Amino acid sequence: MRVLITGGAGFLGSHLCDYLVGQGHQIVCMDNFVTGRPENIAHLMGHERFSFVKYNVCDYLHVDGRLDAVMHFASPASPRDYLELPIATLKVGALGTHKALGLAKAKDARFLLASTSEVYGDPLVNPQPESYWGNVNPISPRGVYDEAKRFAEAMTMAYHRYHGLDTRIVRIFNTFGPRMRINDGRVVSNFIVQALQGKPLTVYGDGSQTRSFCYVDDLVQGIVALLMADSGTSVAERTERSGFHQEPTGRKLGSMHDPVNIGNPRELTVMDIARLVLKLTGSSSPIQHEPLPVDDPRVRRPEITHAKALLNWEPKVELEDGLRKTIEYFRNALQQSQ
């Protein structure tokens, strides 16, 4: 397949580039380096099946040649980033998604949207199934990311229903691994960097809020399984079957065109993560409590029944093993940054 990956130089995008190039696919990687980094794709430059375009996906989008799939991964994804870049975050989720969908339609390419567990907001049910509509405050500082991604999902489903585009939506839960930035701001990278530097681990609030962490290799497997899952129908059939006006109401979620949660259901409190990072790094850093960010979700855990049934996927990497690899990565990254 010839695949365009927007945000291809980011944390997740670059791992996807690696995996798909390794599987024999041809990758066009697009990034404007707002939160992506040249280092993440440096080793792919010059590879015969890899090309790079520095571009903002919100601008008019043109890619030469055929495309079999468009994977839209461009967006700031760390709360620190999207709080600093609220308008860019809204634009890439809204305008960028529209442009990427338009390109997929023009090329009759399959489209995969990187959505997020943030569409569930501060959830009132735990774990979160895909059928849960969420509890999002649209005007909170976090709302810029949550609402952009909710709009992106709505736009993607509209292209599927109205234009018959073959679309997929993955709701990505907390993910960690090599290539997160030292100053990324998310909890796993913060705690590891702080522990390795002997600085206090900054626990926001009392640390009783929960998250569920997936190692990046597992996540990539799940996303690629969703991309490759065969819809088994032509564009004409899809248009007819899922036509905007004919769709029955009350239809159940569960097809590959509906959102699919990909994440690791092992749920920990933030204090648990802090203790685990201290243990695995052997650090004696103290814990320092800082104010809880506004509307920080109290709980988060994916319900992954659909991913298991539809994709035969479930995470395999133990949290501790993933953390050891990530600690090793940050040890090197910190040495090189000195």
Please report, as ranges, the residues that interact with ligand UDP according to CB under 6 A. Answer: 79, 174, 186-187, 190, 202-204, 209, 211, 270, 292-293, 296
Give the shortest CB-195-to-ligand UDP separation in angstroms.
11
| Token pair in block for residue 135 | 């509890």
**In the complex, what is the shortest distance from the CB of residue 212 to ligand UDP, in angstroms, rounded to a whole number?**
9
Which residue type is seen at 220? V
**Least spacing, CB of residue 293 vs ligand UDP, in Å:** 5
The answer for 47, left when phi > 0, alpha when psi is -120 to 50, beta otherwise, is: beta
Please answer whether residues 11 and 71 qualify as being in contact, where contact means their C-beta atoms are separated by less than 8 angstroms. no
The smaller minimum CB distance to ligand UDP, of residues 197 and 234, is found at: 197
Minimum distance, C-beta of residue 25 to ligand UDP, in the bound complex (Å): 30
| Catalytic annotation, pick one of 19, 55, 120, 145 | 145
Helices assigned H by DSSP within the chain: 11-22, 79-84, 86-91, 97-107, 143-163, 187-196, 216-228, 235-241, 270-281, 305-311, 319-337
- Bridge-based pairing of strands 2-6 and 69-72 is parallel
Give the nearer residue to ligand UDP in terms of CB position, either 187 or 262: 187
The DSSP bridge partners found for residue 70 are 4, 111
Q: Which is nearer to ligand UDP, 98 or 149 (CB)?
A: 149
Q: Is 145 a catalytic residue?
A: yes
Report the candidate in 320, 202, 317, 306 with the shortest Cα–Cα distance to residue 262: 306
CB nearer to ligand UDP: pick between 1 and 34: 34
Of 32, 106, 79, residue with least CA distance to 185: 79
Q: Which residues are catalytic?
A: 145
